[in-house]
Amino acid sequence: MNDGGPLMLSHGANKSLWGNVPALDVLYLKQNEGDKLPKDIHLLFAASGDIRNVVKTLSGLPKSFNRKCRVVVNDKDLDIVARNAILLLTVLHYEPDEATNMMLHIWYSALIPQRIFISLQNQILPLIQDVCAKICKKPPMSLQSKTWTYGSRSLKLVLQKAIWDCLPSYLEIPNGLSAIKVQKVMVSTTLAPERIDYLERAFYKRPPHWRICNAKFRKDGILLPLGSSRKDFNTPNPTFFQTNDMWPMFDSADPLDGWPLIEVFQKAPFAKNDIYGSLFRYLQDVFFTFCSQIKTHQICFQLFHVNAQNLPDLIKQDSVATNIFDRIEVSNIGDRGYLGPQATLAIFGPLLKPKSQNPHATLIVLFLNAVHETSNLLNQLSPTRLELERAVNYIQVSLAILQTNNTSDPDLIKLTEACLFFREYDRLFERFYHECRFEEISKDAGLKVKPKYTIVAPWPMRLKKSASLEEFIILLGSGHTGSERYVEWENQI
């Protein structure tokens, strides 16, 4: 569940294979349990999208961690679940060095080296085909599960039989799809001629080196440092393509949006303006740590493919205890366009451990659309005097442009968008809070909003009042708005 934010025209397939808010460590142990961990840790990602939050969380486990960790991951989109299953099987099946490189390109590159594709076909595809063969006579809608065990680690995948039958296709290249055609299909979305105005508006907000790097990525779809050879990347990534004629995401989809940019740019290579080179090196480090943690810890993954509201029943069938999770992260299904706050709390509140078992147990909900649902058209389109005064401290715009009010002027467009970063969103969210009766629905679910957040800041992408020019430039160039709002809940008792 990753789409949201202010209303805008989109182009391409309505699919979110890459996250569009930065990855989150949902445990954040140093601010929570510390060394006082429960016997086992149980984590639920109820509408996961990609597994970046899983990766960020488990890569942050301390070396001294010696508990068993159960991680439940669910999404209603088959493309996402299939890719997540393939990524986790890759992590479990290969040594960390090899798994890191494979994981990075399976996740983010439209073309992959042939050796990776052959290895997936030889090592991972037979695991799935074996399950399909064994359940071939089962009813199409019946739930079938398979657990792959690797020492103290395991992955359990629960799917309908008909969905299992589809799974091998995510490791097979569609007929007629070549490397050349992949790039033609991709560019028809990412560099569509009819979208030139939208693309140039987006580029104008970014520093010149961002534009160069993003244009390169939009053209070849390979996540590598800018100067690295693409010669070996000659094979379509089958996890992206179920047909030979469609790029599966919006043209605005960007791997950078799913990771904390300040951390990413700290990994800059010698070519410090190479933003995708920075992301490449950052992900190498994060993925290697993640793969190493999986290798050395007792971690059991469970993957489901259901609507989030149906997930608790499946979980309860598989568990003795009712209140079992130390952390529940639900993405933005709490937005009113999805389940909404009341249903989200009612469905997932009963799965959160009580304080007697873990006083740090937390339900984390992201509200991507709340302030935009609550604000009226005037709020959205008209910068206030205070917003303009703050924005011009970061963007130099001539007085003449401000006075003419030419809405087609690129500098005025840029300034108007920048004003959103200085908008007073607290008042709008407070209105949303009262409209949705947060205190009442929290009490009904046996929960309460945490008085002090210990995992993620309420407005993690909001520009601070003392923000540097660099921080402003990063936010302006990113896919974020500053209006992304998190809420943390805990059990009442």
- The whole-number average pLDDT for the span 173-188 is 96
Convert the pLDDT of each residue in 321-363 to its tens digit.
566 899 999 999 999 999 999 999 999 999 999 999 999 999 9
Convert the pLDDT of each residue in 183-214 to its tens digit.
999 999 999 999 999 999 999 999 999 999 99
Is the CB of residue 67 less than 8 Å from the CB of residue 38?
yes
Comparing 110 with 409, the larger pLDDT belongs to 110
Query: In which band, very low, low, confident or very high, does the pLDDT at 396 lie, cut at 50, 70 and 90?
Result: confident
Q: What is the number of residues in the chain?
A: 493
Convert the pLDDT of each residue in 12-67 to its tens digit.
778 899 999 999 999 998 899 987 887 889 999 999 999 999 999 999 998 888 88
| pLDDT on residue 193 | 94
Q: Inform me whether the pLDDT recorded for 3 exceeds 70.
A: no
Query: In which band, very low, low, confident or very high, does the pLDDT at 397 lie, cut at 50, 70 and 90?
Result: confident
Mean pLDDT for the chain? Answer: 92
Q: Inform me whether the pLDDT recorded for 115 exceeds 80.
A: yes
Sign of the C-alpha dihedral, residues 300, 491, 351, 370?
A: negative
